[in-house]
Amino acid sequence: MKIGIVLYPTFGGSGVVGTELGKALAKKGHEIHFITYSQPVRLGSFRENIFYHEVAVSDYPLFEYQPYETELTSKMVDVVKYEKLDLLHVHYAIPHASAAFMAKQILQSQGISIPYITTLHGTDITLVGKDPSFEPVITFCINQSDAVTAVSESLKKDTYAHFNTTREIHVIPNFIAPNMEPSDISSEVRRKYACDGEKILCHVSNFRKVKRVEDVVRIFSEVNKELKSKLILAGDGPERYSVEKLVRDLGICDRVIFLGKVRDTAHVLEIADLFLLPSETESFGLAALEAMAVSVPVISSNTGGIPEVNIHGVTGYLSNVGDVEDMAKNALKILKDDETLNTFKVNALKRAHDFDLEKILPMYEKIYFDLVPDKA
Ligand code: GMT
Protein backbone atom coordinates (compact mmCIF):
# COMPACT_ATOMS: atom_id res chain seq x y z
CA MET A 1 0.00 0.00 0.00
CA LYS A 2 1.18 3.59 -0.60
CA ILE A 3 0.73 5.65 2.53
CA GLY A 4 1.30 9.35 3.16
CA ILE A 5 2.25 10.15 6.77
CA VAL A 6 1.94 13.67 8.12
CA LEU A 7 3.48 14.54 11.50
CA TYR A 8 5.52 16.99 13.52
CA PRO A 9 9.12 16.10 12.69
CA THR A 10 10.46 17.18 16.09
CA PHE A 11 11.23 15.37 19.34
CA GLY A 12 7.57 15.19 20.45
CA GLY A 13 6.00 11.79 21.05
CA SER A 14 3.54 12.09 18.16
CA GLY A 15 6.38 12.65 15.70
CA VAL A 16 8.35 9.74 17.13
CA VAL A 17 5.35 7.40 16.91
CA GLY A 18 4.47 8.50 13.37
CA THR A 19 8.07 8.12 12.20
CA GLU A 20 8.65 4.73 13.81
CA LEU A 21 5.31 3.52 12.44
CA GLY A 22 6.31 4.63 8.95
CA LYS A 23 9.69 2.91 9.23
CA ALA A 24 8.06 -0.32 10.39
CA LEU A 25 5.46 -0.22 7.62
CA ALA A 26 8.20 0.37 5.04
CA LYS A 27 10.06 -2.65 6.37
CA LYS A 28 6.91 -4.70 5.78
CA GLY A 29 6.88 -3.61 2.15
CA HIS A 30 4.51 -0.64 2.20
CA GLU A 31 5.63 2.50 0.38
CA ILE A 32 5.80 5.36 2.88
CA HIS A 33 5.78 9.06 2.00
CA PHE A 34 6.50 11.42 4.91
CA ILE A 35 5.08 14.89 4.30
CA THR A 36 6.32 17.55 6.71
CA TYR A 37 8.39 20.74 7.03
CA SER A 38 11.70 19.12 7.97
CA GLN A 39 13.19 15.67 8.11
CA PRO A 40 11.73 13.74 11.08
CA VAL A 41 14.39 13.38 13.81
CA ARG A 42 13.91 9.64 14.11
CA LEU A 43 13.97 8.96 10.36
CA GLY A 44 17.69 8.20 10.17
CA SER A 45 19.50 7.44 6.97
CA PHE A 46 18.38 6.05 3.62
CA ARG A 47 15.89 3.19 3.84
CA GLU A 48 14.06 1.19 1.24
CA ASN A 49 10.42 2.22 0.61
CA ILE A 50 10.74 5.56 2.41
CA PHE A 51 10.33 8.92 0.73
CA TYR A 52 10.37 12.37 2.26
CA HIS A 53 8.50 15.36 0.85
CA GLU A 54 9.41 18.68 2.40
CA VAL A 55 6.77 21.35 2.79
CA ALA A 56 8.44 24.64 1.92
CA VAL A 57 7.22 27.42 4.18
CA SER A 58 7.19 30.74 2.35
CA ASP A 59 8.07 34.03 4.00
CA TYR A 60 6.17 36.53 1.85
CA PRO A 61 6.41 39.87 3.72
CA LEU A 62 2.63 40.33 3.86
CA PHE A 63 2.27 37.30 6.11
CA GLU A 64 2.75 38.06 9.75
CA TYR A 65 2.00 34.35 10.32
CA GLN A 66 3.01 31.83 7.65
CA PRO A 67 0.09 29.89 6.13
CA TYR A 68 1.67 26.48 6.88
CA GLU A 69 -1.62 24.63 6.71
CA THR A 70 -2.26 25.86 3.17
CA GLU A 71 1.20 24.86 2.01
CA LEU A 72 0.92 21.48 3.70
CA THR A 73 -2.46 20.92 2.02
CA SER A 74 -1.05 21.76 -1.40
CA LYS A 75 1.86 19.38 -0.80
CA MET A 76 -0.51 16.61 0.27
CA VAL A 77 -2.60 17.11 -2.87
CA ASP A 78 0.52 16.98 -5.01
CA VAL A 79 1.99 13.87 -3.36
CA VAL A 80 -1.30 11.94 -3.34
CA LYS A 81 -1.85 12.76 -7.01
CA TYR A 82 1.59 12.13 -8.43
CA GLU A 83 2.78 9.34 -6.12
CA LYS A 84 -0.67 7.72 -6.42
CA LEU A 85 -1.11 7.25 -2.67
CA ASP A 86 -3.82 4.95 -1.31
CA LEU A 87 -4.36 6.73 1.98
CA LEU A 88 -3.18 9.49 4.28
CA HIS A 89 -2.41 9.00 7.95
CA VAL A 90 -2.07 12.20 9.97
CA HIS A 91 -0.59 12.31 13.47
CA TYR A 92 -1.77 15.09 15.80
CA ALA A 93 -5.02 16.73 14.80
CA ILE A 94 -3.87 20.36 14.65
CA PRO A 95 -3.56 21.35 11.84
CA HIS A 96 -2.91 18.01 10.15
CA ALA A 97 -6.48 16.72 10.23
CA SER A 98 -7.93 19.92 8.79
CA ALA A 99 -5.23 19.98 6.10
CA ALA A 100 -6.08 16.36 5.26
CA PHE A 101 -9.79 17.18 5.04
CA MET A 102 -9.07 20.06 2.68
CA ALA A 103 -6.69 17.94 0.56
CA LYS A 104 -9.33 15.23 0.32
CA GLN A 105 -11.93 17.74 -0.90
CA ILE A 106 -9.56 19.21 -3.50
CA LEU A 107 -8.65 15.75 -4.78
CA GLN A 108 -12.29 14.72 -4.87
CA SER A 109 -13.00 17.71 -7.15
CA GLN A 110 -10.38 16.20 -9.49
CA GLY A 111 -11.92 12.74 -9.40
CA ILE A 112 -9.39 11.27 -6.93
CA SER A 113 -10.66 9.61 -3.81
CA ILE A 114 -8.36 9.32 -0.77
CA PRO A 115 -9.30 8.31 2.78
CA TYR A 116 -7.51 9.83 5.76
CA ILE A 117 -6.89 8.51 9.25
CA THR A 118 -6.41 10.86 12.17
CA THR A 119 -4.40 9.70 15.17
CA LEU A 120 -5.03 11.76 18.28
CA HIS A 121 -1.96 11.99 20.51
CA GLY A 122 -2.83 14.03 23.55
CA THR A 123 -2.38 17.75 23.75
CA ASP A 124 -4.25 18.11 20.43
CA ILE A 125 -7.27 17.09 22.54
CA THR A 126 -6.52 17.69 26.21
CA LEU A 127 -4.76 21.06 26.07
CA VAL A 128 -4.78 22.89 22.78
CA GLY A 129 -7.60 21.21 20.90
CA LYS A 130 -10.36 21.84 23.40
CA ASP A 131 -9.54 25.55 23.52
CA PRO A 132 -12.44 27.45 21.86
CA SER A 133 -9.98 28.85 19.31
CA PHE A 134 -9.53 25.34 17.89
CA GLU A 135 -12.54 23.31 19.06
CA PRO A 136 -14.96 23.77 16.12
CA VAL A 137 -12.27 22.79 13.60
CA ILE A 138 -11.13 19.79 15.63
CA THR A 139 -14.68 18.54 16.15
CA PHE A 140 -15.36 18.85 12.43
CA CYS A 141 -12.12 17.08 11.44
CA ILE A 142 -12.66 14.22 13.87
CA ASN A 143 -16.15 13.73 12.45
CA GLN A 144 -14.93 13.90 8.84
CA SER A 145 -11.94 11.55 9.22
CA ASP A 146 -12.40 8.15 7.59
CA ALA A 147 -10.99 6.59 10.75
CA VAL A 148 -9.89 8.01 14.10
CA THR A 149 -7.45 6.43 16.51
CA ALA A 150 -6.31 7.49 19.98
CA VAL A 151 -3.21 6.32 21.83
CA SER A 152 -5.03 5.35 25.06
CA GLU A 153 -8.44 4.63 26.54
CA SER A 154 -8.00 7.79 28.59
CA LEU A 155 -7.51 9.92 25.48
CA LYS A 156 -10.55 8.33 23.85
CA LYS A 157 -12.62 9.23 26.94
CA ASP A 158 -11.26 12.78 26.93
CA THR A 159 -12.13 13.15 23.26
CA TYR A 160 -15.75 12.16 23.87
CA ALA A 161 -15.83 14.45 26.92
CA HIS A 162 -14.50 17.55 25.18
CA PHE A 163 -15.83 17.24 21.63
CA ASN A 164 -19.25 16.79 20.20
CA THR A 165 -18.60 13.52 18.44
CA THR A 166 -20.03 10.03 18.45
CA ARG A 167 -17.42 8.89 15.94
CA GLU A 168 -15.91 5.47 16.62
CA ILE A 169 -12.42 5.95 18.09
CA HIS A 170 -10.06 2.98 17.88
CA VAL A 171 -7.58 2.79 20.72
CA ILE A 172 -4.15 1.81 19.41
CA PRO A 173 -1.50 2.17 22.10
CA ASN A 174 1.96 3.47 21.36
CA PHE A 175 4.69 0.91 20.88
CA ILE A 176 8.38 0.23 21.35
CA ALA A 177 10.44 0.64 18.24
CA PRO A 178 13.20 -1.90 17.65
CA ASN A 179 16.04 0.65 17.93
CA MET A 180 15.45 0.74 21.67
CA GLU A 181 17.43 -2.44 22.24
CA PRO A 182 20.02 -2.04 25.03
CA SER A 183 23.62 -1.37 23.96
CA ASP A 184 26.64 -3.13 25.49
CA ILE A 185 28.59 -0.02 26.52
CA SER A 186 26.11 1.28 29.08
CA SER A 187 28.10 0.37 32.19
CA GLU A 188 31.13 2.20 30.80
CA VAL A 189 29.05 5.30 30.02
CA ARG A 190 27.30 5.04 33.37
CA ARG A 191 30.59 5.38 35.23
CA LYS A 192 31.15 8.76 33.56
CA TYR A 193 27.99 10.14 35.15
CA ALA A 194 27.77 8.41 38.52
CA CYS A 195 30.29 7.02 41.02
CA ASP A 196 30.00 3.46 42.22
CA GLY A 197 26.96 3.05 44.42
CA GLU A 198 25.28 6.24 43.18
CA LYS A 199 21.89 5.82 41.54
CA ILE A 200 20.90 7.62 38.35
CA LEU A 201 17.45 9.17 38.05
CA CYS A 202 16.38 10.41 34.66
CA HIS A 203 13.75 12.55 32.94
CA VAL A 204 13.22 13.15 29.23
CA SER A 205 10.79 15.74 27.89
CA ASN A 206 10.25 18.91 25.95
CA PHE A 207 10.38 20.97 29.16
CA ARG A 208 6.90 22.35 28.73
CA LYS A 209 4.79 23.36 31.76
CA VAL A 210 2.65 20.24 31.40
CA LYS A 211 5.71 18.07 32.20
CA ARG A 212 6.25 19.68 35.67
CA VAL A 213 10.02 19.41 35.38
CA GLU A 214 10.41 21.41 38.60
CA ASP A 215 8.69 18.50 40.37
CA VAL A 216 11.32 16.22 38.84
CA VAL A 217 14.04 18.32 40.48
CA ARG A 218 12.23 18.46 43.84
CA ILE A 219 11.67 14.68 43.86
CA PHE A 220 15.33 14.16 43.06
CA SER A 221 16.44 16.60 45.74
CA GLU A 222 14.51 14.62 48.37
CA VAL A 223 15.89 11.29 47.14
CA ASN A 224 19.43 12.67 47.04
CA LYS A 225 19.22 13.66 50.72
CA GLU A 226 18.83 9.98 51.64
CA LEU A 227 20.69 8.30 48.84
CA LYS A 228 23.51 10.00 46.94
CA SER A 229 22.37 10.07 43.33
CA LYS A 230 22.58 11.91 40.04
CA LEU A 231 19.76 13.34 37.95
CA ILE A 232 20.06 13.32 34.16
CA LEU A 233 17.71 15.67 32.33
CA ALA A 234 17.39 15.19 28.58
CA GLY A 235 15.47 17.63 26.41
CA ASP A 236 14.91 21.35 26.24
CA GLY A 237 12.04 23.80 26.16
CA PRO A 238 10.39 26.83 27.72
CA GLU A 239 10.78 25.71 31.35
CA ARG A 240 14.50 25.08 31.19
CA TYR A 241 15.53 28.44 32.68
CA SER A 242 13.29 28.05 35.72
CA VAL A 243 14.42 24.45 36.18
CA GLU A 244 18.09 25.51 36.05
CA LYS A 245 17.38 28.24 38.58
CA LEU A 246 15.70 25.76 40.92
CA VAL A 247 18.68 23.43 40.68
CA ARG A 248 20.97 26.34 41.65
CA ASP A 249 18.67 27.49 44.46
CA LEU A 250 18.59 23.97 45.90
CA GLY A 251 22.39 23.80 45.73
CA ILE A 252 22.46 20.59 43.72
CA CYS A 253 24.23 21.76 40.54
CA ASP A 254 26.94 19.11 41.01
CA ARG A 255 24.25 16.39 41.10
CA VAL A 256 22.16 17.42 38.05
CA ILE A 257 23.23 17.00 34.45
CA PHE A 258 21.40 18.90 31.71
CA LEU A 259 22.01 17.09 28.42
CA GLY A 260 19.80 19.30 26.24
CA LYS A 261 18.11 17.77 23.21
CA VAL A 262 19.16 14.20 22.52
CA ARG A 263 18.23 12.31 19.37
CA ASP A 264 18.64 8.80 20.68
CA THR A 265 17.21 8.87 24.19
CA ALA A 266 17.35 5.06 24.54
CA HIS A 267 21.09 5.25 25.23
CA VAL A 268 20.52 7.82 27.96
CA LEU A 269 17.71 5.81 29.50
CA GLU A 270 19.64 2.60 29.66
CA ILE A 271 22.17 4.01 32.13
CA ALA A 272 19.35 5.09 34.47
CA ASP A 273 17.92 3.32 37.52
CA LEU A 274 14.67 5.24 37.68
CA PHE A 275 12.59 7.40 35.32
CA LEU A 276 10.56 10.35 36.62
CA LEU A 277 7.40 11.51 34.83
CA PRO A 278 5.32 13.71 37.16
CA SER A 279 3.29 15.34 34.32
CA GLU A 280 0.15 17.39 34.83
CA THR A 281 -1.47 15.41 32.03
CA GLU A 282 -0.16 12.71 29.70
CA SER A 283 -2.32 10.88 27.21
CA PHE A 284 0.06 7.90 27.14
CA GLY A 285 3.57 8.70 28.35
CA LEU A 286 5.74 7.33 25.56
CA ALA A 287 8.84 8.48 27.44
CA ALA A 288 7.88 6.18 30.33
CA LEU A 289 7.39 3.24 27.97
CA GLU A 290 10.77 3.95 26.36
CA ALA A 291 12.34 3.83 29.82
CA MET A 292 10.58 0.58 30.69
CA ALA A 293 11.75 -0.91 27.39
CA VAL A 294 15.33 -0.66 28.68
CA SER A 295 14.37 -2.05 32.13
CA VAL A 296 13.95 1.26 33.94
CA PRO A 297 11.06 1.50 36.44
CA VAL A 298 8.92 4.64 36.51
CA ILE A 299 7.79 7.10 39.19
CA SER A 300 4.91 9.02 37.67
CA SER A 301 1.73 10.93 38.28
CA ASN A 302 -1.50 8.95 37.96
CA THR A 303 -2.94 11.18 35.28
CA GLY A 304 -4.42 10.48 31.82
CA GLY A 305 -3.15 7.35 30.12
CA ILE A 306 -0.10 6.78 32.33
CA PRO A 307 -1.85 4.12 34.47
CA GLU A 308 -2.42 2.16 31.24
CA VAL A 309 1.37 1.87 30.93
CA ASN A 310 2.95 2.11 34.40
CA ILE A 311 1.51 -0.40 36.87
CA HIS A 312 1.45 0.79 40.49
CA GLY A 313 3.67 -1.32 42.74
CA VAL A 314 4.83 -3.48 39.82
CA THR A 315 6.67 -1.43 37.19
CA GLY A 316 6.94 1.67 39.37
CA TYR A 317 4.57 3.82 41.40
CA LEU A 318 1.89 6.40 40.63
CA SER A 319 0.99 9.43 42.79
CA ASN A 320 -1.35 12.37 42.55
CA VAL A 321 -0.14 15.24 40.34
CA GLY A 322 2.12 17.51 42.40
CA ASP A 323 2.58 15.09 45.31
CA VAL A 324 6.35 15.39 45.26
CA GLU A 325 6.71 13.95 48.74
CA ASP A 326 4.90 10.73 47.83
CA MET A 327 6.87 10.42 44.59
CA ALA A 328 10.18 10.82 46.47
CA LYS A 329 9.07 8.27 49.05
CA ASN A 330 8.15 5.80 46.30
CA ALA A 331 11.44 6.41 44.49
CA LEU A 332 13.33 5.52 47.65
CA LYS A 333 11.18 2.40 48.09
CA ILE A 334 12.40 1.16 44.69
CA LEU A 335 16.02 2.26 45.12
CA LYS A 336 16.43 1.12 48.70
CA ASP A 337 18.12 -2.18 47.85
CA ASP A 338 19.38 -3.90 44.73
CA GLU A 339 16.98 -6.81 45.01
CA THR A 340 13.90 -4.56 45.02
CA LEU A 341 15.31 -2.43 42.22
CA ASN A 342 16.01 -5.52 40.20
CA THR A 343 12.46 -6.84 40.64
CA PHE A 344 11.04 -3.52 39.39
CA LYS A 345 13.49 -3.52 36.47
CA VAL A 346 12.43 -7.02 35.40
CA ASN A 347 8.75 -6.10 35.73
CA ALA A 348 9.23 -2.89 33.74
CA LEU A 349 10.82 -4.72 30.84
CA LYS A 350 8.18 -7.44 30.88
CA ARG A 351 5.38 -4.85 30.83
CA ALA A 352 7.07 -2.95 27.98
CA HIS A 353 6.82 -6.08 25.86
CA ASP A 354 3.02 -5.76 25.95
CA PHE A 355 3.65 -2.80 23.63
CA ASP A 356 5.94 -4.57 21.19
CA LEU A 357 5.75 -3.24 17.67
CA GLU A 358 4.66 -6.65 16.32
CA LYS A 359 1.55 -6.44 18.49
CA ILE A 360 0.61 -2.88 17.58
CA LEU A 361 1.48 -2.65 13.87
CA PRO A 362 -1.29 -5.04 12.72
CA MET A 363 -3.85 -2.84 14.48
CA TYR A 364 -2.96 0.07 12.21
CA GLU A 365 -2.75 -2.19 9.16
CA LYS A 366 -6.25 -3.53 9.86
CA ILE A 367 -7.63 0.01 9.72
CA TYR A 368 -5.73 0.70 6.50
CA PHE A 369 -7.01 -2.47 4.83
CA ASP A 370 -10.58 -1.83 6.01
CA LEU A 371 -10.42 1.55 4.29
CA VAL A 372 -8.68 0.33 1.14
CA PRO A 373 -9.88 -3.29 0.85
CA ASP A 374 -8.51 -3.88 -2.65
CA LYS A 375 -4.95 -3.53 -1.21
CA ALA A 376 -5.51 -6.15 1.50
O1 GMT B 1 4.20 15.27 25.39
C2 GMT B 1 4.30 16.17 24.56
O3 GMT B 1 4.29 17.33 24.86
C4 GMT B 1 4.41 15.82 23.11
C5 GMT B 1 3.14 15.23 22.62
C6 GMT B 1 3.15 15.10 21.13
O7 GMT B 1 2.08 15.18 20.57
O8 GMT B 1 4.15 14.92 20.49
O9 GMT B 1 2.98 13.99 23.29
C10 GMT B 1 1.71 13.41 23.30
O11 GMT B 1 1.78 12.30 22.42
C12 GMT B 1 2.64 11.25 22.85
C13 GMT B 1 2.66 10.17 21.77
O14 GMT B 1 1.41 9.64 21.55
C15 GMT B 1 2.14 10.70 24.19
O16 GMT B 1 2.96 9.66 24.63
C17 GMT B 1 2.17 11.84 25.22
O18 GMT B 1 1.64 11.36 26.43
C19 GMT B 1 1.35 13.00 24.72
N20 GMT B 1 1.56 14.16 25.61
C21 GMT B 1 0.61 14.62 26.42
O22 GMT B 1 -0.51 14.15 26.47
C23 GMT B 1 1.01 15.77 27.27
Burial zone of 60 (CB within 10 Å; 0-12 exposed, 13-18 middle, 19+ buried): exposed
Cα atoms in the Cβ-side hemisphere of radius 13 Å centred on 171: 15
Domains of the chain: 2-175+356-375 (3.40.50.2000), 179-354 (3.40.50.2000)
For residue 286, the ligand 1 atom closest to its alpha carbon is 16
pLDDT in tens, 298-343: 999 999 999 999 999 999 999 999 999 999 999 999 998 999 999 9
Look up the pTM and report it: 0.93
For residue range 191-221, list pLDDT tens digits in order: 888 888 899 999 999 999 999 999 999 999 9
pLDDT for 81 equals 98
- What pLDDT digit, counting tens, does each position of 106-165 carry? 999 999 999 999 999 988 887 776 778 888 999 999 999 999 999 999 999 999 999 998
- Measured from the Cα of 210, ligand 1's closest atom is 23
Which ranges in 250-337 belong to alpha helices (H)?
265-269, 286-292, 324-335
Distance 18 CA to ligand 1 centre (A): 12
Element of type H or E holding 169 = strand 169-171
CA 1 / ligand 1 centre spacing (Å): 28
Following DSSP, what letter does each residue of 3-23 receive, concatenated? Answer: EEEE---SSSHHHHHHHHHHH
Residue from 200, 131, 162, 180 nearest 294 by CA: 180
* C-alpha span between 315 and 127 (Å, rounded): 28
Contact 80, 112 (CB under 8 A): yes
Residue 291 Cα, ligand 1 centroid: separation in angstroms? 15
Distance 254 CA to ligand 1 centre (A): 30
- List residues near ligand 1 (CB under 6 A): 12-15, 17, 92, 121-123, 126, 151, 174, 206, 208, 210, 281-286
Q: Which of 158, 283, 289, 364 to mutate to test the pocket of ligand 1 (most atoms within 8 A of CB)?
A: 283
Q: What is the C-alpha radius of gyration for the chain, rounded to an integer number of angstroms?
A: 21
Report the alpha-carbon distance of residue 169 to residue 332 in Å, rounded.
39
